[in-house]
């Protein structure tokens, strides 16, 4: 005998279908391909549910941006060793952040596609996703109390994050960059070693 799901369960399943549909469309078609009708068709539901459950397209995109499928959380980047991280010199703390960030994005192929689209498009939805990323970075560094005040930390974070994003996106099409095989774990290990060296050079007194 078929069991009928409670209304609350149906609602949550439908909401998840819509959230998943946003990620799939963004990855395949970018932000210009994103619309209420298309999201509803991808999810296999009536478009009125986008408004009923989320209030419109922008809040739905925000809901997607807050999922672990799209972006790593502070907890994922820090893991269970915050105390150990706090005891490291600041250059090591920074290096650990970017190495963990790199690994987290490498595990998210849909996110890689969305980041690639963001390089071509700029609108209110891309700004919304960008704010989620900035919030995660700020939350991460707020966990530490020895941030240097003599260095433009924001500029360094932007440059490093941009470099990591670029290499990950490029590796989706070009398996070799500068003679380094980015289709292999060994190639990415070389990149992580490079991160260590760069940040040591920046913060080394």
Domain ranges within the chain, ordered by starting residue: 7-65, 74-203
Under CATH, which number does the domain 7-65 receive? 1.10.10.60
Helix, strand counts (H, E) of the chain? 11, 2
Instruction: Provide the whole-model pTM.
Output: 0.83
**What count of other Cβ atoms lies within 10 Å of the Cβ of residue 169?**
19
**What DSSP letter does each residue of 39-98 carry, written as one string?**
HHHHHTS-THHHHHHHSSHHHHHHHHHTSTTTS--HHHHHTT-HHHHHTS-HHHHHHHHH
Give the pLDDT confidence of 50-104 residue by residue, as tens digits: 999 999 999 999 999 888 888 998 888 888 888 888 888 888 988 999 999 999 9
Give the pLDDT confidence of 130-177 residue by residue, as tens digits: 888 888 888 888 888 777 777 888 898 889 999 999 999 999 889 999
CA distance linking residue 163 with residue 184, whole number of Å: 18
User: How much is the pLDDT for 4?
Assistant: 66
């Amino acid at each position: 005998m078929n069991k009928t799901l409670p209304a609350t369960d149906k609602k949550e399943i439908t909401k998840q279908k819509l959230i998943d549909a946003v990620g799939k469309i963004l990855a395949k078609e970018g932000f210009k391909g994103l619309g209420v009708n298309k999201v509803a068709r991808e999810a296999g539901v009536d478009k009125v549910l986008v408004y009923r459950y989320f209030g419109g397209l922008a809040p739905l995109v925000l809901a997607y941006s807050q999922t672990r499928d799209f972006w790593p959380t502070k907890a994922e980047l820090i893991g269970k060793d915050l105390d150990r991280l706090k005891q490291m010199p600041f250059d090591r703390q920074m290096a650990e952040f970017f190495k963990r960030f790199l690994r987290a994005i490498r595990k998210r192929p849909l996110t890689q596609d969305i980041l690639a689209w963001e390089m071509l498009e700029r609108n209110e939805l891309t700004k919304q996703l960008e704010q989620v990323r900035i919030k995660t970075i700020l939350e991460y560094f707020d966990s530490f109390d020895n941030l240097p005040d003599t260095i433009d930390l924001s500029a360094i974070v932007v440059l490093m994050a941009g470099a990591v994003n670029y290499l990950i996106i490029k590796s989706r099409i070009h398996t070799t960059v500068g003679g380094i095989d980015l289709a292999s774990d060994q190639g990415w290990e070389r990149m992580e070693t490079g991160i260590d060296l760069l940040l040591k050079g920046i913060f080394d007194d």
